[in-house]
Amino acid sequence: MIKKVKIVRRKKDLIIERFYRPMTDFIFSFLIKTKITPNNITTLSIFFGLISGIFFAFGDWLHIILGAVLSQFSLICDLLDGDLARTRKLGSEYGMWYDMIATKLFKYFIFLGATIGVYRISKDPLILIVGVVAIFNITTISFISNFRSFFKFFKSHTELPEVKNFYIPFSFLTVIFLDIGAIFNKVDWVLWFFAIFGTLGWIKQLYSAYKLGSLNKS
**CA gap 16, 12 in Å, rounded:** 9
**CA gap 178, 83 in Å, rounded:** 25
Nearest CA to 50 among 109, 119, 6?
109
Secondary structure of 86-146 as H, E, C letters: HHHCCCCHHHHHHHHHHHHHHHHHHHHHHHHHHHHHHCCCHHHHHHHHHHHHHHHHHHHHH
**CA dist list (Å): 171 to 62, 105, 125, 174, 199:** 24, 11, 27, 6, 16
What is the number of other CB atoms lying within 10 angstroms of the CB of residue 89? 7
What residue type is 188 in one-letter code? D
What is the predicted pLDDT for the residue at 34?
A: 86
Question: What is the enclosing helix (H) or strand (E) of 154?
Answer: helix 152-155
Per-residue model confidence as pLDDT tens for the chain (218 residues): 344 555 655 555 566 667 888 888 888 888 888 888 999 999 999 999 999 999 999 999 999 999 999 999 999 998 888 888 888 887 788 888 898 899 889 999 999 999 999 999 999 999 999 999 999 999 998 888 777 766 776 666 666 656 555 556 777 889 999 999 999 999 999 999 999 999 998 898 888 878 777 776 65
**CA dist list (Å): 38 to 34, 89, 95, 163, 186:** 11, 10, 8, 29, 34
Model confidence pTM above 0.95: no
**CA gap 26, 207 in Å, rounded:** 42
